[in-house]
Amino acid sequence: MPSINVALIGYAFMGKAHSNAYRQVGPFFKPRLTPRMKVLCGRTPAKVRAAAREYGWEETATDWEEVVNRKDIDLVDISTPGDSHAEIAIAAARAGKAVFCEKPLGNTVPEAERMLAAVTKAGVTHMICHNYRRIPAVMLTKQLIEQGQLGEIRHFRGTYLQDWITDPKFPLVWRLDKKQAGSGALGDIAAHSIDVARFLVGEIAEVAGDLKTFITTRPLLDNPRKTGRVTVDDASTALVRFKSGAIGTIEASRMAPGRKNYNRFEINGSLGSVAFDLERMNELEVYFEKDKPLVRGFRRILVTESGHPFMKPWWPPGHIIGYEHTFVHTVYDLLEAMADGTVPTPNFEDGVRNQRVLGAIEKAAARRRWVALNP
Ligand SMILES: NC(=O)c1ccc[n+]([C@@H]2O[C@H](COP(=O)([O-])OP(=O)(O)OC[C@H]3O[C@@H](n4cnc5c(N)ncnc54)[C@H](O)[C@@H]3O)[C@@H](O)[C@H]2O)c1
């Protein structure tokens, strides 16, 4: 099998998840291109070396600019905070590399647009890591909608709740700093709900929004006796109108005690409904009007049959998969697109469209009125 050399920038949460995906994708999915885990890049030499040993990378580096310009690198994977996405992606595209970037694409709409322009001009493969699209139950929802089994889609209700910053003593990490993260719960987790909404229901035409920061100062990470200002939202809510005529709500919070990674959506159509919850990601709740009246009701499908999307290479039915598998599926489709010389979805175009929705929600919240998205 021909192989491609991967450079991964960033080695913490997503760095670990992506490394695992590169290791697993070959044995299970047998892509036409085998990813070779060539170089891991971070800022602190000892930490990068330790991570490379742990995850299985051949080499380490601390200068991403040098790495993305190396002749032997084919794919640059950006798993750093949002403030470095644009610079790295644009440099990688200019060097002719395929680019795989974590979400949100950039920290602002103009940044995301510049990234899209760079990959388009270079003619390279590009993808954004909205991995939740590739959950078998989410793909099954897409199939049900495309087959018309839910009828005309009327409602999308997306809720993404976490609770890791409810403690006021939780420090001022990069995710609470606008300069580094772009926004708070909005760009961090509502961005995923927006992607799923766009994937399943279509483009968003108009939004109204609200942002709230409940805890406005927090202890500094390196000096807990001092505090600094939180410059992003703790929670965001939005009303959305889709181009199709459907309406929806998208709510995200990192201040919902007890909710760990409660990424849920419900879709109601004229002929039926579906409901999904990431914390039970192997299941999809479905309701069909066509079922016989006295036995009609929501039922739970265990989405682990070999005919379900992405399930065949894994285990026998009922042998469930987890969070990390979503990255394996994403990386598989990226590698196949690279083999074909095409651009998979979601790509930087999706990243820009997502970023415009994030920007519109921020604008709507600031102005306290509806904001239309340009076509
Ligand atoms: N797809 C998902 O479900 C998902 C989940 C979590 C995070 N993310 C996204 O992944 C990205 C990274 O988040 P994370 O949770 O892995 O963060 P993290 O803090 O766990 O890791 C960030 C890594 O980037 C490195 N880094 C930071 N600035 C850098 C720079 N200028 N040059 C080189 N390395 C740098 C850090 O040393 C660290 O290794 C963010 O864009 C985030 O929104 C996506």
pLDDT in tens, 120-161: 999 999 999 999 999 999 999 999 999 999 999 999 999 999
Q: Using CA positions, which residue lies closest to atom 17 of ligand 1?
A: 13
What would the pLDDT profile of 211-256 be if each residue is shown by its tens digit? 999 999 999 999 999 999 999 999 999 999 999 999 999 999 999 9
pTM of the complete model: 0.98
- Ligand 1 site residues (CB inside 6 A) read 9-15, 42-43, 64, 79-82, 84, 102-103, 129, 131, 188
**Spatial CA neighbour of 196 closest among 148, 272, 267:** 267
Which residue is listed with tokens 């697993």? 24
Query: Which amino acid makes up residue 107?
Result: N
Q: How many CB atoms lie within 10 A of CB 179?
A: 12
| Residues lower than pLDDT 70 in the chain | 375
Q: Burial code of 5-43, b = ≥16 C-beta within 10 A, e = fewer?
A: bbbbbbbeebbbbbbbbbebbbebbebebebbbbbbbbe
For ligand 1, pick from 9, 14, 55, 176 the residue to mutate: most ligand atoms within 8 Å of CB: 14
In the reported structure, the alpha carbon of residue 174 is separated from the centroid of ligand 1 by a whole-number distance in angstroms of 10
Q: Using CA positions, which residue lies closest to atom 29 of ligand 1?
A: 80
Return the pLDDT at 375. Answer: 66
Return the pLDDT at 1. Answer: 76
Please answer whether residues 177 and 224 qualify as being in contact, where contact means their C-beta atoms are separated by less than 8 angstroms.
no
Q: Using CA positions, which residue lies closest to atom 19 of ligand 1?
A: 12
Please state, in angstroms and rounded to a whole number, the distance separating the CA atoms of residues 292 and 290.
6
Residues 6+ apart with CB under 8 A from 53: none
Please answer whether residues 335 and 31 qualify as being in contact, where contact means their C-beta atoms are separated by less than 8 angstroms.
yes
Atom of ligand 1 nearest to the CA of 11: 39
In the reported structure, the alpha carbon of residue 228 is separated from the centroid of ligand 1 by a whole-number distance in angstroms of 21
Give the residue ranges of DSSP H helices in 209-302.
none
